[in-house]
Amino acid sequence: MIFEIPRCPTCGELARGSIERLAGCAEFDWEEVPGQAVYSGYTDVWWDEQTMETNETGQAHLICSQGHEWYSDSDNAEDDEASAWPRQTYRFDV
Ligand SMILES: [Zn+2]
């Protein structure tokens, strides 16, 4: 991907990445408290539904390592090899 504003307007660092929206299943433990759902601490992230957050004009929402956020136009090349990173195979405990 190529961004019109790849560097943070506040501190000048290159973008750490884009802010993304994810969905998933926070799994329940039905055994800990009989008759009640308790979070097990395990979340199955549905990576196939991951999307880049954009504003109303379609600009990408970027963030630097200092936590500054900004929007930038991009070439939005979904099939670009640089953006084809593995998204599907991770599960993690929270
Ligand atoms: Zn910054």
Å from CA of 32 to ligand 1 middle: 44
Does residue 50 form part of some domain?
A: yes
Does residue 84 form part of some domain?
A: yes
Does residue 63 form part of some domain?
A: yes
Å from CA of 71 to ligand 1 middle: 12
Encoding tokens for residue 19? 């802010």
Does residue 10 form part of some domain?
A: no
Encoding tokens for residue 41? 């601490």
Contact 14, 1 (CB under 8 A): no
**What gap in Å lies between CA 90 and CA 68, rounded to an integer?**
27
Does residue 68 form part of some domain?
A: yes
| Count of the separate structural domains present in the chain | 1
Å from CA of 48 to ligand 1 middle: 29
User: What pLDDT digit, counting tens, does each position of 18-60 carry?
Assistant: 999 999 999 999 999 999 999 999 999 999 999 999 999 999 9
User: What pLDDT digit, counting tens, does each position of 61-74 carry?
Assistant: 999 999 999 999 99
Quote the domain boundaries for residue 72: 17-93
Does residue 26 form part of some domain?
A: yes
